[in-house]
């Protein structure tokens, strides 16, 4: 076991687009969103708007486990993203929301300022590998998620963070990422 992360993370950031729901707000659905009489969330073209199947269970589980859960998205459609979270009844799961255009570094710096939690005690679940390259510079661990967030992916990501089982004794988070992102691996 390495010394890169010695305790459970306190804050878990979760991206929205392609992580909690399988679409981009700016081109695959048409805001504004609303609920119909049966409680389904629809877009402006009356198409059903559905998150990934396990998204709600993941959020509920993380909150129940005592994590600070943050919505972290760089979408330009800030009001629409917040409205969709409200319609899905997910606001109750998020302690913090950093939803605005910008870098993930900006988002996590504000989370640190708001919560007082150190970067080394934060992690992110996100579909975009480019964010991992940014976040390594400040020490935030990212689990890259393809095909939506699931309970299994969260459990594996948390296990990787807790145990650092793939890395030798004494490695730091920056050491770990620098090995991943150095030649011959081009991203």
| Distance in angstroms (rounded) separating the CA atoms of residues 183 and 109 | 29
Strand order of the sheet with strand 122-126? Answer: 96-99, 68-73, 11-14, 122-126, 141-144
pLDDT at 164: 55
Sorted by sequence, the CB contacts under 8 Å of residue 62 that are 6+ apart come out as 12, 69, 93, 154
Q: Are strands 141-144 and 41-42 parallel, antiparallel or unpaired?
A: unpaired
Closest CA to 136 of 102, 176, 84: 176
pLDDT at 159: 84
Beta bridge partners of 70: 13, 96
Closest CA to 127 of 13, 17, 11, 53: 17
How many degrees, rounded to 5, is the angle at CA 108 between CA 167 and CA 30?
110
Predicted confidence pLDDT, tens digits, the chain (187 residues): 333 445 679 999 999 999 999 999 988 999 999 999 999 999 999 999 999 999 999 999 999 999 999 999 999 999 999 999 999 999 999 999 999 999 999 999 999 999 999 999 999 999 998 898 889 999 999 999 999 999 999 999 988 876 653 433 334 444 444 443 333 333 2
Reduced to 3 states, what is the DSSP secondary structure of residue 98?
strand
Q: From residue 33, how far is each of 55, 82, 146, 161, 174 by CA, in Å?
A: 18, 11, 25, 36, 41
Whether the CB-CB separation of 48 and 41 falls below 8 Å is answered with: yes
| Distance in angstroms (rounded) separating the CA atoms of residues 170 and 4 | 7
- Domain architecture of the chain: domains with CATH: 11-24+51-180 (3.40.50.1000)
pLDDT at 160: 80
pLDDT at 163: 66
pLDDT at 177: 42
Closest CA to 140 of 120, 154, 114, 157: 120
pLDDT at 14: 98
- Token reading at 47: 């198409």
């Amino acid at each position: 076991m390495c010394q890169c992360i010695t305790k459970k993370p306190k804050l878990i950031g979760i991206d929205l687009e392609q992580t909690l729901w399988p679409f981009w707000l700016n081109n695959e659905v048409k805001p504004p969103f609303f609920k119909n009489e049966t409680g389904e969330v629809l877009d402006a073209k009356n198409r059903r708007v559905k998150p990934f199947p396990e998204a709600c269970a993941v959020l509920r589980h993380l909150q129940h486990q005592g994590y600070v859960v943050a919505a972290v998205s760089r979408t330009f459609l800030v009001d629409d993203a917040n409205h969709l979270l409200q319609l899905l009844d997910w606001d109750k799961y998020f302690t913090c929301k950093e939803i605005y255009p910008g870098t993930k570094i900006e988002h996590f710096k504000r989370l640190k300022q708001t919560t007082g939690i150190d970067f080394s005690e934060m992690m992110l679940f996100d579909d975009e590998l480019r964010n991992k390259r940014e976040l390594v510079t400040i020490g935030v661990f990212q689990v890259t998620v393809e095909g939506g967030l699931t309970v299994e992916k969260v459990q594996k990501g948390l296990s990787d963070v807790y145990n650092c089982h793939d890395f030798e004794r004494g490695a730091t988070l920056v050491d770990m990422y620098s090995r991943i992102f150095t030649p011959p691996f081009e991203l």
